[in-house]
Amino acid sequence: MRDVEDPSEPAVGVHALPSPYLLFLGDVTEPGFAKTALGLRDWAGDRCIGEHALPAATVSTGLPRLTPAEAAARGARAMVIGVANQGGVIPPAWVPELLAAIEAGMDLVAGMHRRLRDLAPLREAAARAGVRLHDLRVPPADLPVATGRKRSGRRLLTVGTDCALGKKYTALAIARGLGARGVDATFRASGQTGIMIAGRGIAIDAVVADFAAGAAELLSPDAAPDHLDVIEGQGSLFHPAYAAVSLALLHGSQPDRFVVCHEPGRSHILGVPGYAVPPIEAVIEQTVAAGRLTNPDIRCAGISLNTGRLDAAAAAQVIAETEARLGLPAADPIRGGDAFDRLLDACQG
């Protein structure tokens, strides 16, 4: 990260966030809107020092409640906006709290479409305090065009039959599971929540198309031969709006292995009338066909099934059926168990 005075300048290269974090919950009363804060608690707990909320908030992460000044005194270096708001705006009631964090010397981190830097009071306060405003949906400046050069180290990418069915969760669970086995594995974030969890990354979907594969190359740099980058996927090659994002990430990641994420029972692409969710087989075929351009050794390690809507028996059945049909390990990482162990074996192999 650069040391610059102008908080409105975008980062160069990959976004890198200072930590520990204070999680800002605003006035949230609906746990669904606090998904980001709860995810940070679960996946980056060692980087979260506490939470800060307005009196009206009823949702809590269970972390200590701290004012920005208290958090800063305990070493917090950034306050992360951990709640989504209708329309992605920043309500006026939040502004004094954001200013308090800035004045306590903390950076601000947000993944909303509305940019922190577009609010003059925040921009001016940040410049005065010498802290940065991290708008994770603003891509870093000066991204390179992809070179296609083969990088050292190993890579695994999560891909999907659709959006929003567990590609980030699967990548986190695989990185954590392999880490617990002693594998040198790093989660690599390609979306805003993932970036907050990892502390670094690039929101690939916000990058200009010409540079999207180049951004994906930056995301997983050269590494030791047995190091494994576990890269968070985006979109789906079968999504009529977002397939380009998925392809750029596939080409730039040059993965050796990929895991297909799928939600049994979901029949239609979210929000796109007339488009069926493709069979897992078709996703494997298209991912190999496109991915071998930058890595001829690409192959499918297995399947991650999001069985959250099924009971335990139905989940076990669909996992077993998928394994038998495809001849590949299948598991729901949230349910874990032997199935997930077999999926981890395949990710290592």
Instruction: Please give the residue ranges that form the binding site for a copy of itself (CB under 8 A).
Output: 145-150, 204-210, 212-214, 237-238, 240-245, 247-248, 251, 272-275, 286, 289-290, 293-294
Q: Least distance (Å) from a copy of itself to the CB of residue 248?
A: 4
* CB-nearer residue toward a copy of itself: 224 or 289: 289
Tell me the C-alpha distance between 222 and 155, whole Å: 10
CA distances from 217 to 58, 294, 319 (A): 41, 11, 33
* CB-nearer residue toward a copy of itself: 212 or 228: 212
Q: Least distance (Å) from a copy of itself to the CB of residue 145?
A: 5
User: Scanning the structure block, which residue is given the tokens 């979306």?
Assistant: 191
Q: Strand pairing partners for 268?
A: 276
In 3D, which of 192, 216, 196 has the Cα closest to residue 17?
196
Q: Least distance (Å) from a copy of itself to the CB of residue 62?
A: 34
Q: Torsion angle, CA of 305/112/83/186, rounded to 10 degrees?
A: 50
User: Scanning the structure block, which residue is given the tokens 């995301």?
Assistant: 219
* CB-nearer residue toward a copy of itself: 289 or 324: 289
* CB-nearer residue toward a copy of itself: 286 or 348: 286
* CB-nearer residue toward a copy of itself: 56 or 145: 145
Tell me the C-alpha distance between 200 and 316, whole Å: 35
Q: Least distance (Å) from a copy of itself to the CB of residue 124?
A: 23
CA 261 to chain centre: 14
Q: Least distance (Å) from a copy of itself to the CB of residue 265?
A: 22
For 155, phi and psi rounded to 5 degrees? -140, 140
Beta-carbon count within 10 A of 95 CB: 14
Q: Least distance (Å) from a copy of itself to the CB of residue 279?
A: 13
* CB-nearer residue toward a copy of itself: 235 or 329: 235
Tell me the C-alpha distance between 280 and 15, whole Å: 33
